[in-house]
Amino acid sequence: MRTDREPRRPVLTVDLGGTKIASAVIDAGSEVLARDHRLTRVDEGVEAVIGRIFEVVESLLKESNPGPSQPGSISIAAAGAIDSVKGVVTLSPNLPGWCNIPLRDQVAERFGMDTFLVNDASAAALAEHRLGAGRGTDNLIYITVSTGIGGGIVIGGQLYLGSSGAAGEIGHMVIDSGGPECYCGLSGCLEVLASGTAIAREAKKRLRDGQNSALIGLVAGNIDAITAREVSQAAQDGDRLAAEVVAQAAKYLGIGMAGVVNIFNPDIIVFGGGVSKMGDFLLDPVRRLVREKAFSISAQAVRIVTAELGDDVGLLGAAIFAREQKMGRQPDEN
């Protein structure tokens, strides 16, 4: 593989998720020079999705001017358990059929460019640490709460990936062993109790049980159309049912974060993802539970805040990951 020794050149980044493939060319100042967005269409199979990634990369390379503004590397942030050292998508529940897929090498061989692969939440953690809410801290935990719950870990200023690349699967801590079954095979995982999907599911259940809520009006009577966004809106407008559902999710998040605080003693926990847009309405109960349930010395040291970098956080983190790899700043693999 050609090794590019110019880390200042732009990085072509790809954020691969179960719903969308977002991509961008990002320069050394973390400015977006060009971007692309298209559906993943996971139902078409692994090879079709990889082909779509190729199309995305080809499209952005054509848009880039030759010379210093031409991307010098490709960096992919993907959902699931990622072995960044081997460049393999080990397992991704959001990408059915993706098991031990050597995505990094397939992309590198196709385009003849240095290529990197990292978990999307780990990339987001790196971006928030270097550019966002975690600037100036040593130890950061990033939590994304959206369709699922993921996490990324920065320890001593370095991204921690774990021995097999799967560190940060905070959504699969078991909070209630008697709780609902999670797709991972366990029961009562944080993700199945407090994700956006869980919030919507609980609201629908209560409505079908006959409870009253303004949610019905927000979706014109179609209970199946309820998402966490509608629940959040109704809760902040004072709807009792919606507020109870959000409070329940916040309780589980608070219990989970108390455990995280006890284990990692971080300077900061940064919440990202769509559900985090509730802001203090969601996070104040989480903060309170951390103060109540974590060791006081650790609870007093941590700040719990919302992310600063928005929807591009995974792309920005992927670019930073590639640059730091090229400069020899290896993430902690142990």
Cα of 190 vs its chain's centroid, Å: 15
- DSSP-assigned letter for residue 87: T
Domains 11-119 and 133-308 share a fold: yes
44 touches 285 (CB < 8 A)? no
| pLDDT tens readout for residues 162-200 | 887 778 989 999 998 888 888 778 888 999 999 999 999
- What is the layout of strands, in order, in the sheet containing 88-91? 81-83, 88-91, 99-101
Buried b (16+ CB within 10 A) or exposed e, 73-105: bbbbbbbbbbbbeebbbbebbbbeebeebebbe
pLDDT digits (tens, 9 = 90+) for 97-139: 999 999 999 999 999 999 999 999 999 999 999 999 999 999 9
| 156 compared with 18, residue with greater pLDDT | 156
Angstrom CA distances, 216 to 206, 210, 212, stand at: 12, 11, 8
Element (H, E) at 241: helix 240-264
Tell me the residue type at 14: V
pLDDT of residue 1 exceeding 50, the answer is no
The rounded percent of the chain whose pLDDT value lies above 70 is 96
Q: Where are the domains of the chain?
A: 11-119, 133-308
List the beta bridge partners of residue 11: 26, 73
Q: Which residue has the tokens 């385009």?
A: 111
pLDDT at 80: 85
Q: Does domain 133-308 have CATH number 3.30.420.40?
A: yes
Burial class (CB in 10 A: 0-12, 13-18, 19+), 246: buried
What's the whole-model pTM score?
0.90
Q: What is the mean pLDDT of residues 77-101?
A: 90
Long-range contacts of 34-42 (CB under 8 A, 24+ apart): 34/60, 34/63, 34/64, 35/60, 36/60, 40/16, 40/95, 42/18, 42/94, 42/95, 42/96, 42/97
pLDDT of residue 7 exceeding 60: no
Topology at the third CATH level for domain 11-119:
Nucleotidyltransferase; domain 5 (3.30.420)
